[in-house]
Chain A
């Protein structure tokens, strides 16, 4: 039973990493949101498996919370945003995608190297996931850097939070419930504020291209 669970968690972790790369390579905003939802679903599945394996009641609650928030509510909000702002078109990246992928691979190797001594120390039954979680965080960060439009950056930020959550559940069996609730609320509020900002930016510059913000620099 435990072996199966561990394998399952590992599978989900691998899937998560794959999704992270997919997001890094994705040019279309709509698909990006869908990928984000899928990533959220993977995290939910992994959390449920860990909850089942370790018999921790509260992990079920956080799984349900994640499902509601990150798989249903936030993607829905993002879809609405895309429709309202009419930004369905292709994303322009600052660096071309193949080189981004290459840098991404380097980041994954780096993350695994970094996580290796920490995994040895941890009491987790699922070794290796921490490296993947760390790699996902760095890849999402990477995505935020390479995109020139505001919406993909928001998605990158959210994906980073997903990866953090995965690191917390799989490597250390979840955080205290209070912390999780706090983070969930933060993300929710963050998405709404970012939404408002996106509206403002698009109204101001008639575009969501963040390169317009360069004009705000003090000379």
Chain B
């Protein structure tokens, strides 16, 4: 079994996932069987997938295959190269943890029947893997659309709530608009040859205009799936609506499929690389990143906060991609490889830590039934496992060493520092601003994450019932533990990950970084040269551990060493309660002040003499009012106009056909001439 070709192994996993899904239908209401057997089996599929991907990345080969599925004369062309394999690895490692977590997470009698959830979940996984294998537009679109549909059904698992249905609809709408753009992009790429295989698209020589059209369509289509500005609106709606393992899969893995798609189109299928494409990606990516992180900082609902944080990370990924494209268009392939490595590293890192964070919110939600940050707090005492695992995710997400987030952001900043070599003075002026924005984003991400962790897990419980919260179950602990372990590993051993990314960048831009990066020993990451920059995560780990140990020892041995519980700050109040802690709103207030033009705020402040003071603030997106509502209103207006055609009188309807007939008959002689 393990000796077969990697692509066959992947196909077996896809087949197994589909079979598991169908078995779920047979065991529609047998909750124990579905949760304790099917989901862990699906998790093993993820491991096999990761194994196959690593083996292919190691061998550097390209596997192809044709499957005679679907329409006659139109087989599925499949191809597994380094790029697909890397993203398969992302699916594999993330889905292992998420599936295990899901085995313990789904409860009987919640929303959709467990068997149906099993079907949707595993079909979702299978379609994502198939997206990566597809080597023609037909297979790609089939897989892409099944991915959108299955995830839609997963989002609306609790479809009895109208709010969730609305969120699902918004998601489906944007996903479909994006899919149309992708389809059109493939239409441009095949250049009128009528052959929709990727192999054919690779050899087409499109003119600058059509190549740019294809690029912009791909950017729009995949950007809609990824959540790039201004198509991000579905993310903060759909993620809170979905069950936590589903949000983890969507945020951690699915939106990366869009990154894959854009990489595939721009670096593989298009032979041209024009510098302003990179600028478009760079500018929109940066805007998205800053926008996402500012909104994350003011959210008061934990899953919305994470959703906005995902938007921020998508922005960073697009920035890195844009930078790579920019370098590539000027033939600076080593630097392109560096930016691309940063992008791919972050794809893997974000998939792991964001899944982990979404899973912890799931555990918190189940333990407390509360998703509003204002009613949580002090959970570290009741759910220590979840809290400590979340802390790992938080640290990685804030981009602190020695975790995975730091490595990718460091690589990204490194590639930015090389940009003065670009032969465009205009770009050289732009780059410092971009670099500063990246730094700002990283800092604000830390701010948002501290807020998330601090308000949920630290301090005093804000509600009575929180003291009854229980820690996560065994399956949930294993799932989250796996993701946390990998997050740590990713931060500590960047060079081994670089070995996996090496064949990908080699395939896309012709240069790999594994060799120079490890030139000074496996523990030291030197992406370009020792003189410029190096990073040794183990040193950092050593430094952090040493500082903690020394501080501990000093306090315990030299200071009084007693454990003392006291109020840190009385503030002049005769008594204090847990409501007086810093809240999520309070914590986000400075950001709200500084970045006020970004928000649309609806605030209600109580008067000082109010006996029952009530304070609330609703922060909404300006894009919603600015872009989406006008479109919706225009659609409604046009529909109302068109609706007047429907008179309900048969004579009028007959007149319509009569007039149409006359007009067509009038056109006949002109057409003949």
**A residues lining the B interface (CB < 8 Å):** 94, 110, 114, 117, 138, 141-142, 144-148, 153, 210-211, 213-218
Complex Cα–Cα for A148 and B661 (A): 21
Interface class of chain B by DSSP: helix
Which residues does chain A contribute within 8 Å of B658, judged by CB atoms? 141-142, 145
Complex Cα–Cα for A213 and B654 (A): 14
Would A145 and B655 be within 8 Å (CB), given that A114-B665, A114-B668, A117-B672 are in contact?
yes
Q: Nearest chain-B residue to A216 (Cβ)?
A: B648
> Are A213 and B651 in contact, with the CB atoms below 8 A?
no
**B647 interface residue, CB < 8 Å from A?**
yes
> Are A145 and B647 in contact, with the CB atoms below 8 A?
no
Q: Which interface class (under 10, 10 to 19, 20 to 34, 35 or more) fits B? A: 10 to 19
Which residues does chain B contribute within 8 Å of A138, judged by CB atoms? 662
Q: Nearest chain-A residue to B653 (Cβ)?
A: A145
**B639 interface residue, CB < 8 Å from A?**
no
Complex Cα–Cα for A95 and B591 (A): 70
**B669 interface residue, CB < 8 Å from A?**
yes
Instruction: Map CB proximity to A onto B657-672 as digits: 1 under 8 Å, 0 otherwise.
Output: 0100110010011001
Would A110 and B649 be within 8 Å (CB), given that A117-B669, A145-B655 are in contact?
no
Q: Nearest chain-B residue to A144 (Cβ)?
A: B654
The 4 closest A-B pairs by CB, nearest first: A217-B648, A214-B648, A145-B654, A210-B650
Complex Cα–Cα for A214 and B665 (A): 30
Instruction: Map CB proximity to A onto B14-58 as digits: 1 under 8 Å, 0 otherwise.
Output: 000000000000000000000000000000000000000000000
> Are B650 and A153 in contact, with the CB atoms below 8 A?
yes
> Are B648 and A146 in contact, with the CB atoms below 8 A?
no
Which residues does chain B contribute within 8 Å of A211, judged by CB atoms? 649
> Are B648 and A213 in contact, with the CB atoms below 8 A?
yes
Which residues does chain A contribute within 8 Å of B649, judged by CB atoms? 210-211, 213-214
Shortest Cβ distance from A137 into chain B, in angstroms? 9
Shortest Cβ distance from B665 into chain A, in angstroms? 6
Among A138, A141, A145, the most chain B Cβ lie within 10 Å of the Cβ of A145
**B residues lining the A interface (CB < 8 Å):** 646-651, 654-655, 658, 661-662, 665, 668-669, 672
A-B contact pairs, 10 of them (CB 8 A): A110-B662, A117-B672, A141-B654, A141-B658, A146-B651, A210-B649, A213-B648, A215-B648, A216-B648, A217-B648
Shortest Cβ distance from A71 into chain B, in angstroms? 26
> Are B651 and A210 in contact, with the CB atoms below 8 A?
yes
Which residues does chain B contribute within 8 Å of A217, judged by CB atoms? 646-648
**Given A142-B658, A144-B654, 16 more contacts at CB 8 Å?**
A110-B665, A114-B669, A144-B651, A145-B654, A146-B651, A147-B651, A148-B651, A153-B650, A210-B649, A210-B650, A213-B649, A214-B647, A214-B649, A215-B648, A216-B648, A217-B647
Interface class of chain A by DSSP: helix
Shortest Cβ distance from A206 into chain B, in angstroms? 18
Which residues does chain A contribute within 8 Å of B672, judged by CB atoms? 117
Complex Cα–Cα for A218 and B648 (A): 8
Among A141, A148, A153, the most chain B Cβ lie within 10 Å of the Cβ of A141
Shortest Cβ distance from A124 into chain B, in angstroms? 19
Which residues does chain A contribute within 8 Å of B651, judged by CB atoms? 94, 144-148, 210
Which residues does chain B contribute within 8 Å of A147, judged by CB atoms? 651
Complex Cα–Cα for A217 and B645 (A): 11
Q: Nearest chain-B residue to A116 (Cβ)?
A: B669
Complex Cα–Cα for A94 and B647 (A): 15
Shortest Cβ distance from B670 into chain A, in angstroms? 12
Q: Nearest chain-A residue to B649 (Cβ)?
A: A214
Complex Cα–Cα for A211 and B651 (A): 9
Which residues does chain B contribute within 8 Å of A153, judged by CB atoms? 650
Would A213 and B650 be within 8 Å (CB), given that A114-B669, A117-B672 are in contact?
yes
Q: Nearest chain-B residue to A217 (Cβ)?
A: B648
Complex Cα–Cα for A150 and B392 (A): 77
Complex Cα–Cα for A216 and B649 (A): 9
Shortest Cβ distance from A32 into chain B, in angstroms? 17
Complex Cα–Cα for A94 and B661 (A): 21
Q: Nearest chain-B residue to A157 (Cβ)?
A: B654
Complex Cα–Cα for A110 and B664 (A): 13
Complex Cα–Cα for A202 and B669 (A): 44
Among B647, B650, B672, the most chain A Cβ lie within 10 Å of the Cβ of B650
Complex Cα–Cα for A44 and B265 (A): 67
Among B651, B662, B668, the most chain A Cβ lie within 10 Å of the Cβ of B651
Complex Cα–Cα for A104 and B23 (A): 68
Complex Cα–Cα for A138 and B661 (A): 9
Shortest Cβ distance from A62 into chain B, in angstroms? 26
Q: Nearest chain-B residue to A107 (Cβ)?
A: B662
Which residues does chain B contribute within 8 Å of A148, judged by CB atoms? 651
Complex Cα–Cα for A147 and B661 (A): 19
Shortest Cβ distance from A47 into chain B, in angstroms? 25
Q: Nearest chain-A residue to B669 (Cβ)?
A: A117
Shortest Cβ distance from B630 into chain A, in angstroms? 26
Shortest Cβ distance from A176 into chain B, in angstroms? 25
Which residues does chain A contribute within 8 Å of B654, judged by CB atoms? 141, 144-145
Which residues does chain B contribute within 8 Å of A144, judged by CB atoms? 651, 654
Q: Nearest chain-A residue to B656 (Cβ)?
A: A145
Q: Nearest chain-B residue to A147 (Cβ)?
A: B651
Which residues does chain B contribute within 8 Å of A117, judged by CB atoms? 669, 672
Complex Cα–Cα for A152 and B101 (A): 71
Which residues does chain A contribute within 8 Å of B665, judged by CB atoms? 110, 114
Shortest Cβ distance from B368 into chain A, in angstroms? 47
